[in-house]
Structure 1
């Protein structure tokens, strides 16, 4: 069951206030936390798409939010897991049909409140990583105004306030994972 797998994936993360908040939220809400109509707050899935050298990140300009951000969105009934939802969203929003996740390991937890233009009150976002070459063909979806590669050290001005810090933490985690596997 998706909720059991999600709780196990969260428990595998290092202890933190974010992880513990997600565990409490998911345990209390059960399957409702994965459904858009399950309440004003729910789990969403997102995907940071990097170049293989991690020097560039592919972002979309979110139509409703009016900012550059990683790909992501609500879980759908056909999604077998939160990771599966993240991959589906990244494929749909980037136009990269053969995109695959680097792993199904959670790399980012970001609960954010929503304002103007959104029917939800908050998203409990769960992030994953995928890799693509910068020369891959990309496409803009209906949910975005643009899709573009940026150097990870030179992000556009119009990103959410906490995005640069989140991106740096994701990159550090990927870097540490690479060092452990050598």
Structure 2
């Protein structure tokens, strides 16, 4: 494990890079935010920062995933910052909007993961990059209800993630959760 001193960036928060992948993603995110004045806006011409929520079940054995309507794949909850330079708030807000849950508690205000991935061109926008900043939450009340952005929602056991998705950005959750729990328990 690398040091426990988190690195911080305005609008994103603190992150402790632990692997070469973590370091690369964090450095790319910080460099993007430093050079792009519209980093938190929803402009596909410049790419943008997004905020995502890994929402765990009360027993922390499952994560709530959404079957994304446009991309037709299973992902964590999340969305665009839409000009608000606060990725943690965006992740929390999107978790509520996309899940239908009545109470969601942040497990930390620290970033649990950064994932930079390409969004393919579609009829409404050019291809671009999402600089996705991920945070960890826990569901405390309510039953999931799909939103207009989702085909379905499902509590997926952490040990069964590969049964529903091949997204490396989702499959990394068990490793990230183990690191989080070792730091906080």
TM-score by length of 2: 0.82
Task: Give deviations 1:135-158, integer Å, cap 9, x for gaps.
Answer: 731110000000111110012634
Hey, what does 2:60 align to over in structure 1? 54
SS in 1 for 2:51: strand
Alpha-carbon shift at residue 168 of structure 1 (Å):
2.3
Hey, what does 2:120 align to over in structure 1? 115
Q: Does 1:13 align with 2:13?
A: no
Q: 8 Å contact 2:102–2:142 — kept in the other structure? A: no
Hey, what does 1:131 align to over in structure 2? 138
Alpha-carbon shift at residue 123 of structure 1 (Å):
0.4
**Structure 2 unpaired stretches of 5+:** 1-8
SS in 1 for 2:184: helix
Structure 1 runs, 4 residues or longer, greater than 4 Å off: none
Give the length in aligned residue pairs: 172
Cα 1:17–1:177 change in 2 (3 A) is same
Hey, what does 1:140 align to over in structure 2? 146
Hey, what does 1:106 align to over in structure 2? 111
**Structure 1 unpaired stretches of 5+:** none
TM-score by length of 1: 0.83
SS in 1 for 2:91: helix
SS in 2 for 1:153: helix
The Cα RMSD (Å) is 2.4
SS in 2 for 1:142: coil
Alpha-carbon shift at residue 126 of structure 1 (Å):
0.3
Q: Does 1:26 align with 2:36?
A: no
Alpha-carbon shift at residue 21 of structure 1 (Å):
1.1
Task: Give deviations 1:56-106, integer Å, cap 9, x for gaps.
Answer: 1111100011111100110134x4611000001010000113223222110
Which stretch has the larger CA shift, 140-149 or 36-45? 36-45
